[in-house]
Amino acid sequence: MSTTTSSNASITQIVRPARSFQGSVTVPGDKSISHRYGMLAGLAEGTTRLTNFSTGADPHSTLGCMESLGATIVRSGTSIEVTGTGGSFQQPTSDLDCGNSGSTMRMLAGLIASHPHTFTMIGDHSLTVRPMERIRKPLAAMGARINLVDGHAPMTIHGGPLKAIDFETPIPSAQVKTAVLFAGLQADGVTSLSETVRTRDHSEHALKAFGATLTRTGEKLSIAGGQKLKAIEATVPGDISSAAFFLCGALLFPDSNLVLDSLGMNPTRAALLDVITTLGGKIKVLLVEEHNGETIGTIQVNRSAEGLKGAEISGALSAQLIDELPVIAAIAPYTRNGVVIRDAEELRVKESDRIDLVVRNLRAMGAEVEELEDGMIVPGDQQLHGAKIDSGSDHRIAMAFSIAALRASSESIIRGAEAAAISFPEFFRFLDDLAQR
């Protein structure tokens, strides 16, 4: 693989076809968990020590915000020490810059809304067009005064006392759930929340790890306000959404062999492993442990002798696989029966319109694909050729099509490859080690 930089600092990565996919990797720390540990450590009393913190730019945007709010952070590679504010954030002297990170903006809004200051949260162009009304609404119902521009960032929060609410999440979003739980932790009364689809539950585990009490009765989560958090020591599990690229890469070759260790396998994130099996992967679980409520394991992945079948992904499964759908779609033409994705309209409001970009890039590689408002239909048994891929400055698109490129008949050029650093800066180096040529 080779890299070139153009004058506007967009990095172009050439990905050549491979003949196999082999090796053992430890993917960097989970982005979702790193955000939550970083935020709660900043609010807690004492010094939190985290190892294997995400190397992605997004969780580092969160850490930058926590410093502006008064936390002290010492970074030593992927080991991070956060000395928290003991429950009282300070008035930041500048805007809270969330970069490209929707998680930072949405979850942090809930964490800071009860503090008696004025906060302005900003982000890059992509973040400025993403929907924020979804968190403004429940937080406003709790009494927060939040100003948006046409439903978007920049977001100004005039912090003040909050009251508990009983909330049903209208869209399946762990970020919205988290904003409400973080606000509820500091509100007056008991906040309850129910989800139509059960989304990733890292916030629930993280809150408990930091000493908060949270109860679940059936589908209803409840958190009492006025609880204080205490610092923790924790290792962040490997990011299964980063591992997803390599898991799908391993499906592309008959003799692949991939071992992933220290991998986060939280059941609310691990739907991908079932889809890998449905598609024709063989997964052997070599080790499983639990730390702070999070499941961590070592797995080995091979492709079954029958080759790749197809899959239909819809309903709750689409919500649970939302970050993995681009790479599943990108390898879909190489399956025998194709892949159908429905009920995934949330893909249109991620770091890019991921339905549009996946469809356009698949077509650029010569694939036949039907675009749906809420997904796509990708027929199977198609041979793709290399192409110029437009990442749309979206990390998951850059990485998904680098995987599709491994089985194309000629080399591909990934434009805007630097976007991978949002969640997985080491991606191209790891890919080069795993792809056998």
* Residues within the interface to ligand S3P (CB under 6 A): 32, 35, 103, 173-175, 178, 200, 322-323, 346
Minimum gap (Å) between residue 354 Cβ and ligand S3P? 10
Q: How far is the CB of 127 from ligand S3P (least distance, A)?
A: 12
Identify which of residues 39 and 311 has a Cβ nearer to ligand S3P in the complex: 39
Shortest distance, position 8 Cβ to ligand S3P, whole Å: 26
In contact, 186 and 118? CB cutoff 8 Å: no
Q: Which is nearer to ligand S3P, 376 or 406 (CB)?
A: 376
Of residues 30, 97, 201, 323, which has the active-site annotation?
Answer: 323
- Interatomic CA distance for residues 186 and 383, integer angstroms: 55
**3-state secondary structure (DSSP) of residue 251:** helix
Structure tokens at 192: 């309850």
**Cα–Cα distance, 230 to 243 (Å, whole number):** 31
Rounded CA separation 144/186 (Å) = 12
| CB 322 to ligand S3P: min, Å | 5
Rounded Cα distance, 341 and 275, in Å: 12
Q: Which is nearer to ligand S3P, 27 or 365 (CB)?
A: 27
Specify whether 201 is catalytic.
no
Please, where are the H alpha helices in 102-236?
102-112, 125-128, 133-141, 174-184, 202-209
Please say whether the beta carbons of 110 and 181 come within 8 A: yes
Which lies closer to ligand S3P via its Cβ, residue 32 or residue 256?
32
- In whole angstroms, how close is the CB of 396 to ligand S3P at the nearest point? 8
Burial 111-124 (b: 16+ CB within 10 A, else e): bbbbbeeebebbbb
Q: Is the Cβ of residue 132 or residue 311 nearer to ligand S3P in the bound state?
A: 132
Active centre residues (catalytic): 323
